[in-house]
Structure 1
Amino acid sequence: MGRRITRIPVFLLFSLVLLMSTSCKNDDGPDNPGNSELPEEYYAGGKLGTTTVNNISTAYEQPTPAIDNAGMGLTFMIGESYVEKSFNTNTSGKFFGLGPVYERGSCIICHPGYGHSKRTEKINSKEYGSGYHLRMIDKDTEEFVPEMTHAVLTHAVAPFLPPVDEKGIKIDWKEHTDEFGNKFPDGETYSLIYPEVTIDPAYINTDPKPTNYVVKLQSSLPLYGTGLIDAIPTDSILAEYRRQKARGRNMNDAIYDPANYHTALDGTKHPGRFSYNLSFAPLQGNSGATFLWGSLGITNPHFRHNDISEAYARAMSRNKDVQEALGMDEEAVFAELMRNDLPIEMDADEYASVMTWQRGLAVPAARNLDDPEVQKGKKAFYSIGCTSCHRPSWTTGPDEYKGDPLVTDKLPRYPYQKIWPYSDLMHHRLEMVNDIHTGWCRTSPLWGRGLSQLCSGNGDHLHDMRARNYTEAIMWHGGDAKFARDKFRALSKEDRDALMKFLESI
């Protein structure tokens, strides 16, 4: 069951370098800041984290200036190749190592153009842009069911069966009418939908099978700018939590209890800042190490076991076809699946290159901020209270975390940059119908989202992509965000449209 990934041939790397050098040249200007001096808010990721390429379909895929400054361009492209290529089950050759169970064959399927996934009517994890993750949640405890891992994996390498065969998954999109009858005071209407997901037990391959559960959808998140969020000091995150707590906001206190901090690879403790569930921090810690391991099954020096449950291993070990194919009895199959010393398929250098890429993706520069309509929308955005959760800017710290020895001093750094993610990075409740698991959801960063249709092929929003445009996303807001939603609803159509223009520009 060992698997191996080989490095990219030198001739291919040379061609990539040539392509990069010829395709990323753009004139400086408001839409392409480059080295010209513009108002600071144009540099959404700061001077070290903002791409000079904008308004093209690859705007999310560019390296930060910090990558170029540090001479890491080639390493960035090597890491990028692991994200863009499809892994396989061959016994030798490039990009070998898929399985034994997996969620996607490549990362780019789930993160189209390095943005977020699209809303879909049916689970098809081989379709480009279909980036839904399924969560099976116990109805009573609200914990993940023990028969599954956190993400429900829907594919397997023969002779194994997937934990859940996606042919048994059904998504029903339901219409919802809100307390306002889906209508603004001026008569304009909007539509709201939400998903309900069911799984036919016949397509579940665990022993025992889970019962008494609900299924939740979560979409993939944009990948650009994660290195900049990673560079925000923990003290700043905690200060934001205390500030909002003092204002009487409803906060998820457990996230900021040191007893619940995430343990990084070096043993240090950190409150969460990544994912809808704030389930990862720092990027160089477990979140980075799980990037290929969790979805594709690619082992690395940090993770040398399969991402499976004991219930799945037991079901496969009792499967006669599996026993026959492997030439093992039940206990031998079970022991093999549960090993903690599997061969390393992505070595330390390869892993470091993926981390360089992950931390090196730039944020697109803001656009058209001097446009009168955008300025009008910005005024409305601030005046109705959106910034209470969508905090406009942060300042990074010295960015000197050294917790992962495999990447220490090998990654781009973003010290003391003023960045504009438009998120407080906190947990809030939106109180939606068929809400996210636990009801708590991180405020989504808004930077670059106006380019989503261009770069990712969709303009969907919220944790399960139920909102097909910004208006629907805002009208789904509840909890502490109700006051801003209601003020948005009271705006004139002209001001609502201007606010949309502002969101598309940042």
Structure 2
Amino acid sequence: MKGFFYSKYFLMGLAVLSFAACSDEDAPRQINPPIEPVTDEEWYAGGLLGTTFNSSASAYEDPTPAVENAGMTDKFKYGEYFFERTYTQNTKPFNGLGPLYVRNSCMSCHPGYGHGKRMERYRADDWGNGYLLVVTDHTDTYLSSLTGMPQTKATAPFKAPIDEDKINIEWLDYTDEWGNKFPDGETYSLIYPEVTIPEDAYYVPLEVNGKTVDYANVKVRLESTIGIYGTGLIDAIPDDSLKAEYIRQEKAGVSLNPSFFANGKWVKTYGNTTHPFRYTYALSRGPLQDAAGANAIWNITNVTRSNRRYHYMTQTYANTAANDPEVQNKFYEYFPDWNKTGNVKEDIINYLMNQELPVEMTDDDYVDFMIWHRGLAVPAARNLDDPDVQKGRSLFREIGCASCHRPSWKTGKDNFTDPSGFFSDGDARLPRYPDQTIWPYSDFVQHRLYMENDIRTGWCRTTPLWGRGLSAICTGASDRLHDCRARNVIEAIMWHGNAQSDARWTIEKFRTLSKEDREAVVKFIEAI
């Protein structure tokens, strides 16, 4: 089937298609949107310019047709090089690791370019560990003495802000109000992580904005990486379309995070721009050119580039290291060029907090990396002509899953911007995705599920579902949700069922389905 459609659209010369159901931005939002038949374009999850029909173990790694059409394939492959390889302190072009870092490569967090795996322990060098620590006080405010993504690795002579050997992850069983059982008697299992870090594992003082935090008030949680394919297509969704979705939900009485949107207006937008937030669970990033990958290639490894000639670092850490006799004794041995003043404390702080450090990643290499990042294709939907999948598709809409996991969007002209100023608006060096109908199955809005040991703040962006059915073959695991607590689709669905959850009404309907119908919903989710 997929081969037939691919040939068909190739012969049509990549005609621009549109599909109105669930994507008409002028229509009122409906709790149960109309169910339309599967159309040809629905197989193209990333639109004609963003879809690959590879469904093998490398399905998340392909360039989009837009990359190929623009003659960027070689640069895409070179950019991939920077995602996959391990960084070191001085081996070009992968030099510059440290002085502190979260991981020594991007791919170690994104196995097979996908979602991180559920882990039994926290070790940065464990393959597939996509976990980032979330360390806050009792008000859910990040500890400012640590970086937002706390580092557990360091290069000599420095010491890691947290000793990861002392981090403990315990997976606990959870029983929901239904006893983890459907009305027909079928059971399921739910687990969640508890993370503890002893006080002596912290190298830096525990502070929020310079004020000491009582260790008893420190909270630690996990957030895992998500798949990075298709992020360029998400960037191509017009800002006005995102706003229209918020307005539609607000008018329908949906609870929205007041930190972002209220009374038909944005409460805050990204940085000093008018762009809405659209990336990460916490909606911490706006346009892709200053979002997840563009940020991570710098702060995960601490590799500098021309527009970020400084370390991912806190002043508290710099002060702590500068006053550490063991660091002082070795500093000039490792950094003889930083013997500027002869005052070792001053020189350590100057090195760690300097804003004009030497450039370690060249501009050309960074451009190639962003061609790769913006150019990753989305796997095509599979088995949409299967009767069970079609039944699951209808049930997915009937019971309300599509209210948050909005099926489709229409991209705009994709004259993208870069808040960091490295790329110009619509920069011709990067691939673009104008006027595409895409099927991410997300509204890109935050909702609350009220899970046990919940995500920080309780608000979590709806995760796109496209391509996730290939996770097992591409990454070796099928774990879902923000901390990988769900080991399969059923567990992920049932974690939506808390009495206070924004999705409670949907889960009540899902529970009443027959086993056959529940399996059809799962089969559909695995197919998209």
Q: TM-score, normalised by structure 1?
A: 0.91
> What runs of 5+ residues in structure 2 fail to find an aligned partner?
13-38, 208-212, 333-342
SS of residue paired to 2:126: coil
State the match for 1:260 in structure 2.
268
2:525 corresponds, among 489, 497, 503, to 503
**Cα distance, 1:93 vs. partner?**
3.2
The match for 1:299 is 304
Query: CA separation in 2, counterparts of 1:353 and 1:326?
Result: 34
Quote the Cα distance in structure 1 between the aligned partners of 2:230 and 2:484: 20
Query: Does the C-alpha gap of structure 1 residues 31 and 66 become closer, same or farther in structure 2, counting only changes over 3 Å?
Result: closer
Match of 2:485 in 1: 466
Q: Does 1:196 align with 2:213?
A: no
Could you say which residue in structure 2 is the equivalent of 1:6? none
Query: In structure 2, what residue type is equivalent to 1:129?
Result: G
TM-score when normalising by structure 2: 0.87
Give the structure 1 partner of residue 423 of structure 2.
406
Instruction: Report the Cα offset of residue 121 of structure 1.
Output: 0.7
Q: Which amino acid aligns with 1:505?
A: A
In the other structure, the counterpart of 2:49 is: 48
Structure 1 residue matching 2:195: 3-state secondary structure:
strand
C-alpha distance in structure 1 between counterparts of 2:314 and 2:511, whole Å: 46
Are the structure 2 counterparts of residues 81 and 153 from structure 1 closer, same or farther at C-alpha, using a change threshold of 3 Å?
same
Aligned position for 2:340:
none
- Give the counterpart of 2:248 among 239, 243, 249: 243
User: In the alignment, is the contact (CA less than 8 A) between 2:289 and 2:423 conserved in 1?
Assistant: no
Matched position secondary structure for 1:35: helix
Describe the superposition over 1:158-202 as per-residue Cα deviations: whole angstroms up to 9, x where unpaired. Answer: 110011111010011111110000000000000111111111221
| Mapping 1:368-387, distance limit 5 Å | 368-387=383-402
Cα 1:93–1:349 change in 2 (3 A) is closer
1:288 shift after superposition: 4.3
Which stretch of the first structure deviates more once superposed, 339-348 or 209-218?
209-218
Which amino acid in structure 2 is aligned with residue 457 of structure 1? G
Distance of 2:266 and 2:202 partners within structure 1: 37
Provide the residue aligned with 1:4 in structure 2: none
Q: Matched residues in 1 for 2:123 and 2:11: separation?
A: 44
1:423-452 deviation per Cα after TM superposition (whole angstroms, max 9, x unaligned): 000000011011000000000100000000
**1:67 alignment partner in structure 2:** 67
Q: Is the 8 A contact 2:235 2:287 kept in 1?
A: yes
Provide the rounded CA distance (Å) in 1 between the counterparts of 2:73 and 2:240.
Answer: 31
Matched residue pairs, number? Answer: 475
Partners of 2:137 and 2:375 lie apart in 1 by 37
For 2:79, what is the secondary structure of its paired residue? helix
Give the aligned residue type for 1:65: P
Q: Distance in 2 between matches of 1:439 and 1:412?
A: 35
Q: Does 1:329 align with 2:344?
A: yes
Counterpart CA distance in 1 for 2:422 and 2:117 is 36
CA 1:493–1:87: 2 relative to 1, 3 Å:
same
Give the alignment partner of residue 221 of structure 2, picking from 208, 216, 221.
Answer: 216
Question: Which residue does 2:160 correspond to in 1?
Answer: 162
Secondary structure at the counterpart of residue 503 of structure 1 = helix
Summarize the Cα distance change of 1:116–1:312 in structure 2 as closer, same or farther, 3 Å threshold: same
User: Counterpart amino acid of 2:519?
Assistant: D
Amino acid at match of 1:63: P
Q: Is 1:138 aligned to residue 137 of structure 2? A: yes
2:3 is aligned to 28
Give 1:379 deviation, angstroms: 1.2
Residue 218 of structure 1: CA displacement?
0.2
Give the structure 2 partner of residue 100 of structure 1: 99
* 1:86–1:240 distance in 2 versus 1, CA, 3 Å: same
* Mapped partners of 2:374, 2:192: distance in 1: 33
Q: Are 1:396 and 2:411 an aligned pair?
A: yes
Offset of residue 286 of structure 1:
4.5
The answer to whether residue 338 in structure 2 is matched with residue 340 in structure 1 is: no
Asked whether 1:310 is paired with 2:311, we answer no
Give 2:20's aligned residue.
none
Q: Which residue of 1 aligns with 2:366?
A: 351
CA RMSD of aligned residues (A): 1.8
1:31, 1:365 within 8 Å by CA — same for their partners in 2? no
> 1:87-110 CA deviation, whole Å, 9 max, x = no partner?
0123x4331111000011110010
The CA distance in 2 between the partners of 1:406 and 1:262, in whole Å, is 17
| CA displacement 1:115-157 (0-9 Å, x = unmatched) | 00010110121121111000101113x2111111111110000
Letter in 2 for 1:406: F
Question: What do the CA deviations read for 1:7-50 (whole angstroms, capped 9, x no partner)?
Answer: xxxxxxxxxxxxxxxxxxx9934699883778100000000000
**Secondary structure, aligned partner of 1:196:** strand
Q: Look up the match of 1:281.
A: 286
Matched position secondary structure for 1:453:
helix
CA distance in 2, matches of 1:498, 1:286: 36
* Preserved contact between residue 143 and residue 206 of structure 2 (Cα < 8 Å): no
- Report the Cα distance in structure 2 between the residues aligned to 1:439 and 1:274, rounded to whole angstroms: 16
Find the counterpart in structure 2 of residue 482 from structure 1. Answer: 504
Alpha-carbon spacing, 1:260–1:372, altered in 2? closer, same or farther (3 Å): same
Q: Percent identity?
A: 49
1:118 touches 1:460 (CA, 8 Å); kept in 2? yes
Following the alignment from structure 2 to structure 1, what is the Cα–Cα distance between the partners of residues 268 and 348?
Answer: 35
Q: What is the one-letter code of the residue matched to 1:51?
A: T
One-letter code aligned to 2:167? I
Q: CA deviation at 1:339?
A: 0.9
1:428 counterpart letter in structure 2: H
Q: Distance in 1 between matches of 2:293 and 2:370?
A: 7
**SS of 1:130's equivalent?**
coil
Q: 2-side partners of 1:27 and 1:466: how far apart? A: 33
2:180/2:188 contact within 8 Å kept: yes
1:336-369, Cα deviation, whole Å (9 max, x unpaired) = 2111111111121111111111100000000000
